[in-house]
Amino acid sequence: MTSGSAAGSERSTPSGLPSRVIVPTPPVMRVLPGVPESATAARRLTRQLLGDDHPVADTAMLLVSELVTNSVMHSRSRRPGGTVTVALCSGPTSVLIQVRDDGGPFGPQMPAERRADEGLSGAEHGYGLLLVDALAETWGTSATTDGRVTWCRLAIDRLDKSTKWRCP
């Protein structure tokens, strides 16, 4: 067996082709200020947990960034003293991402389809949850009077490349 990063290593399968062995890592949690720069800190935390060669590292960094950005932009976390809490857990079959914010008047909402006459107006905004929905095996949100948690799970192996990520 050849060793890789803490996130995994390769071994040979009966066919002789290498397969990944994902080594679970302890979960991590960080409380970050409710500012846009926290998306960068969340990406860095995700990379530190998973390592550069983890099979879903890039997707996890993208989605944690989207969830933190949504929390900062659309919740009371953006107010002075507001925070977002990022929790990450990597196991042998999936990565769980959770982002807690200070809540707000509305929960996460999928953007309505843009009309053709809108052109590229707002083309840089409003696609975060579409990305989460397209790339995560599953995702959801839970709200209380104290805040809201939005989470997603990324499966490490895809069973069928034409469908969403899912755990075997």
Q: Model pTM? A: 0.74
**CA 16 → CA 11, 12, 111, 159, distances in Å?**
9, 5, 46, 20
pLDDT digits (tens, 9 = 90+) for 19-72: 556 767 789 999 999 999 999 999 999 999 999 889 999 999 999 999 999 999
Q: And the tokens for 24? A: 């679970």
Domain annotation for the chain: domains and CATH numbers:
23-155 (3.30.565.10)
- How many beta carbons lie within 10 A of that of residue 33, not counting itself? 16
pLDDT (tens digit, 9 = 90+) per residue, 72-113?
999 999 999 999 999 999 998 999 999 999 998 776 666 654
Q: SS3 of 66, please?
A: helix
Q: How far is CA 59 from the centre of its chain?
A: 7
